[in-house]
């Protein structure tokens, strides 16, 4: 059994310690907002926070999160920064297909929690590794700036 916190709730799961966190979230805990993209940690669709830092859950083994805190897209609406980012995403019409958006939002939230007024270079650096096949990168940047303006 491995114990960790997910979205503020202590969880205990009985799965192999090498199982990727993504599959524990989706298949064991039924938290399906985190998406499978590439399976190699390259596209960012599986992004979650581990103790406040961005991780790729598709390549992170469950053993690495024992005793730690995972935050997923499911609770972003109740998080001040998460809500600001989600609202900015809607205002800026960011989503097209929407598949990568939970990972994009999780990376944007982590950025704004560490830097309230990011520059374009800060945004590009923080969002590097989050791939959007629809190509809405300019709207993603605009939404992050929009959310930032509301967090004064």
The C-alpha atoms of residue 65 and residue 134 are separated, in whole angstroms, by 32
pTM for the model stands at: 0.96
Q: Distance between CA 114 and CA 25 in Å, rounded?
A: 25
Strand order from edge to edge, sheet including 2-6: 9-13, 2-6, 69-71, 47-50, 53-56
- What φ, ψ does residue 109 adopt, rounded to 5°? -60, -45
pLDDT, tens digit, 9 for 90 and up, residues 64-123: 999 999 999 999 999 999 999 999 999 999 988 889 999 999 999 999 999 999 999 999
Torsion angles phi and psi, residue 2, rounded to 5: -120, 130
Please name each of the domains of the chain with its CATH number.
2-74 (3.10.20.30), 75-149 (1.10.150.120)
Q: Rounded to whole angstroms, how far apart are CA atoms 103 and 64?
A: 20
Work out the pLDDT band at 52, boundaries 50, 70, 90: very high
pLDDT digits 0-9 by tens, 106-135: 999 999 999 999 999 999 999 999 999 888
């Amino acid at each position: 059994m491995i114990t960790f916190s997910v979205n503020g709730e202590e969880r205990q799961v009985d799965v192999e310690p090498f199982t990727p966190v993504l599959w524990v979230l989706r298949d064991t805990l039924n938290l399906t907002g985190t998406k499978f993209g590439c399976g190699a940690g390259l596209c960012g669709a599986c992004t979650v926070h581990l103790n406040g830092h961005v991780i790729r859950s598709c390549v992170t083994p469950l053993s690495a999160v024992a005793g730690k805190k995972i935050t997923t897209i499911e609770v972003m609406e109740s998080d001040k920064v998460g809500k600001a980012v989600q609202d900015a995403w809607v205002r800026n019409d960011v989503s097209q297909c929407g598949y990568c958006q939970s990972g994009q939002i999780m990376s944007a939230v982590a950025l704004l929690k560490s830097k309230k007024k990011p520059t374009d270079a800060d945004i590009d650096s923080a969002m590097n590794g989050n791939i959007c096949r629809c190509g809405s990168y300019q709207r993603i940047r605009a939404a992050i700036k929009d959310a930032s303006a509301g967090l004064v």
